[in-house]
Amino acid sequence: MAKTSKKRASEPLSLGLLGRPATMPDHPDAAILERVPNPQAGEIYVTRFTAPEFTSLCPVTGQPDFAHLVIDFVPGPWLVESKSLKFYLGSFRNHGAFHEDCTVRIGKDIAGLIKPRWLRIGGYWYPRGGIPIDVFWQTGKLPPGTWAPDQNVPNYRGRG
């Protein structure tokens, strides 16, 4: 599990990676995933992060695997700090894990850090051996009355 940087809402904001030079961690366990207070914590809304060039390694062959990740969440008191998320996702580049493990781990790490009202992640993996593997994970149900758009990642026909 990635290291996390958690602050109570009443504590001053520590910018961690934000605004500082940083190097890409070589493994997800070395990554620091950070959160920041949600300035609209009383509102119900959806935030989306899209990572169309996610990369990890096949744990069997060592060859690269590519995915288009879509992460949607309804935040509570916390948001994911985006620079730390970019570095966290980039840390999978040399990490060997199956598609299911990468996708679910990312969802669980983010949910554990920010405690959202709802989160879903879609991992749309490009084919290896002619078969795309798409992996989906979510926490609970979308709050009533909340609109979450479709993830709109094409079924495989070149994914684009």
58 catalytically annotated: yes
90, 64 in Cβ contact below 8 A?
A: no
Q: In this predicted model, what pLDDT tens digit does every residue of 88-121 receive, in sequence order?
A: 999 999 999 999 999 999 999 999 999 999 999 9
Domain count, the chain: 1
Structural domain for 96, as ranges: 3-7+41-139
DSSP 98: -
**Of the candidate ranges 40-44, 76-80, 129-133, 147-151, the one whose mean pLDDT is the lowest:** 129-133
Is 26 within the bounds of a domain? no
Is 55 within the bounds of a domain? yes
- Sign of the Cα torsion 11, 17, 21, 27 reads positive
Is 34 within the bounds of a domain? no
From 65, 72, 102, 109, active-site residue: 65
Is 119 within the bounds of a domain? yes
Helices (H) then strands (E): counts for the chain: 2, 7
pLDDT of residue 7: 43
Q: In this predicted model, what pLDDT tens digit does every residue of 7-32 receive, in sequence order?
A: 444 444 455 766 677 888 999 999 99
Is 149 within the bounds of a domain? no
Is 133 within the bounds of a domain? yes
46: domain CATH number?
3.30.1130.10
Q: Give the confidence band of 129 by pLDDT, cuts at 50, 70, 90.
A: confident
Is 114 within the bounds of a domain? yes
- pLDDT at residue 156 tops 90: no
Q: Tell me the β-bridge partners of 119.
A: 73, 139
From 26, 29, 58, 109, active-site residue: 58
Is 157 within the bounds of a domain? no
65 catalytically annotated: yes
